[in-house]
Amino acid sequence: MAGPAKFLRRDIWTLQSDDPIITGYANGVKLLRQRAADKPTSWTYQAAIHGTENAPNKPLWNQCQHGTWFFLPWHRMFLYHFEEIVRAAVIEAGGPHDWALPYWNYGLPGRNATLPLPFRKPKLANGDPNPLFESARASGINSGAALPTQVTSPAIALGRPHFVGAAEFGGGITQAAQFSQQTGRLENTPHNAVHVAVGGPTGLMANILAAALDPIFWLHHANIDRLWTVWVKNGTHKDPTQAEWREHTFKFFDQHGHEVSMKCENVLDPPTDLHYTYEEGVTAPAAIAPKAPPPAPPEGVKVADQIDRPQMVGATAEGIDLVGDPVAVEVPIDAAAAGQLSPAQHVYLNVEDIEGKRNPGVIYGIYVELPADAPADHAALDRVGNLTFFGIEGARSPEGDEHAHGLRGAMDISRFAQELAARGEWGGHSLSVSFVPAGLIPPEEPDPGDAVPASHEHPDTPVRIGRVSVFYDA
């Protein structure tokens, strides 16, 4: 190990609003916005590297990696270079030389789940426009509405034993499967869910092609990056070993506007590789561990191989339209295909062919075998995952430079399946799957101009799920 990292990324909720980290960030954002848009170190250019609707493409625009096992390393590199660019601007504006991006740890209960104060008000104390404010956010966010636990909790992701796989921590191998969106669990929640909850139906954060224009984007991603370091700290968790991941290279611009490239395997230990670390002393929420920890793969066998050839055991015959209300479907489990469920068998729920014109700005929690007398507050109930629709526009964009396909999500439901099998209610029976919208929690003193919509309010954009299915790995 090298010596202590030079730069410390701190929890923004532990800082006073006049902390040089916050004022430095505001000054840096302001400075970047003043630069010509065609300069790689300008605010809009940096956001366009993630995604933009502007055309024609300038060098390195629209590079962001979503729905893939490159999601985490790409965004780590993206943040690293952005932080360098902002630090140079902070220093230029007379700020601290060791400035580092703060992070927004919304996963802790209470005020942490609300938008940090320096981002909420349109004006600074001196009357100048606040560079960190953005009006295009979900209603209620700027007046202190809290994100629900379903949206912010990284517990499901942190409990996944493996990195590789759509139902695992970091996402699936994308080029191996032309027809899958291999979104990993951390990318799904809290990443996608927080994007959509903060952006709402029309805000910047909910749209991949505009998200990085909102200054809170970078603090959200610093937290996602931090959660990756938290997951890795658990001794048994390992980053991918495959050369096609480790040796993959992405390009960015440094603080001088020069193109630079980085390899995934060279960003896996931030303190040594990238000279930053996260503030200690902030406890992460407990991870949800799978009930029966999966056996370790035999020596020499790639983890991904275990789910490369799944076996379908049941699926719905019809699609489901989601319009903002809770919906439950029955997935018939085929008796012959399901057979006797062995205790070591992993069972996955897939939500497939998700299509819609626009992101409705609603997040649905996915529940299996939800009891009929379930309390109205679903926060405490056992969820298997979330449906977030982040990126749904790109999935059907005929003009984009990526292949269009519906979104797809995969989640581990082994413990539910094992319980049903133990009761003799598996093969030949139906699995009940519920989709329940998770709305924002209104602040105690709501701002009349920024009201939180009731969670049952119908979004103008319906979305359709093509099929819900259940798979065994094989």
Binding site for other proteins (CB under 8 A): 175-176, 178-179, 244, 305, 308-319, 332, 334, 336-337, 352-353, 397-406, 466-467, 469, 474
Q: 119 is written with which tokens?
A: 């981002």
Residue number with CB closer to other proteins (28 or 406): 406
- Report, in Å, the least distance between residue 196 CB and other proteins: 23
Query: Please, what is the minimum distance in Å from the beta carbon of residue 67 to other proteins?
Result: 13
Residues 6 or more apart in contact with residue 402 via CB below 8 angstroms: 394
Structure-token match 């966010």, residue found: 141
366/434 Cα distance (integer angstroms): 6
The two most distant CA atoms of the chain are separated, in Å, by 71
- C-alpha gyration radius of the chain: 22
- Judge contact between 255 and 84, C-beta under 8 A: yes
CB 363 within 8 A of CB 438: yes
Among residues 316 and 359, whose Cβ is nearest to other proteins? 316
CB of 357 to other proteins, least distance (A): 15
To other proteins, the closest distance from the beta carbon of 52 in angstroms equals 15
Comparing CB distances to other proteins, the nearer of 175 and 283 is 175
* Min dist. Cβ of residue 464 to other proteins (A): 9
Least distance in angstroms from the C-beta of 166 to other proteins: 13
CB nearer to other proteins: give 229 or 397: 397
DSSP 190: I
Helix (H) or strand (E) holding 92: helix 71-92
d(CA 178, CA 158): 27
Nearest residue (CB) to other proteins, 318 versus 373? 318
Q: Spell out a b/e string for 23-60, using b for 16 or more CB atoms within 10 Å of the CB, else e.
A: bbbbbbbbbbeebeeeebbbbbbbbbbbbbeeeeeeeb
Q: How many CA atoms does the CB half-sphere of 463 hold within 13 Å? A: 34
In this structure, the chain runs to a length of 474
Burial label, 208 (beta-carbon count in 10 A; 0-12, 13-18, 19+): buried
The smaller minimum CB distance to other proteins, of residues 290 and 466, is found at 466
Are 166 and 172 in contact, with CB atoms under 8 Å apart?
yes
- Least distance to other proteins from the beta carbon of 46, Å? 21
CA–chain centroid gap for 90, Å, is 28
Q: In this structure, are residues 94 and 84 in contact, taking their beta carbons and an 8 Å threshold?
A: no
Give the nearest distance from C-beta 81 to other proteins in angstroms. 22
Q: Is 144 exposed, middle or buried (0-12, 13-18, 19+ CB in 10 A)?
A: buried
| Residue 62 or 142 having the CB closest to other proteins | 62
Beta carbon of residue 264, minimum distance to other proteins (angstroms, whole number): 14
Which of residues 150 and 183 has its CB atom nearest to other proteins in the complex? 183
Judged by beta carbon, residue 38 or residue 318, the one nearer other proteins is 318
Residue whose pair of structure tokens reads 């295909």 in the numeric block? 337
- Write down the least CB distance from residue 254 to other proteins, Å: 24
For other proteins, give the closer residue by CB, 96 or 332: 332
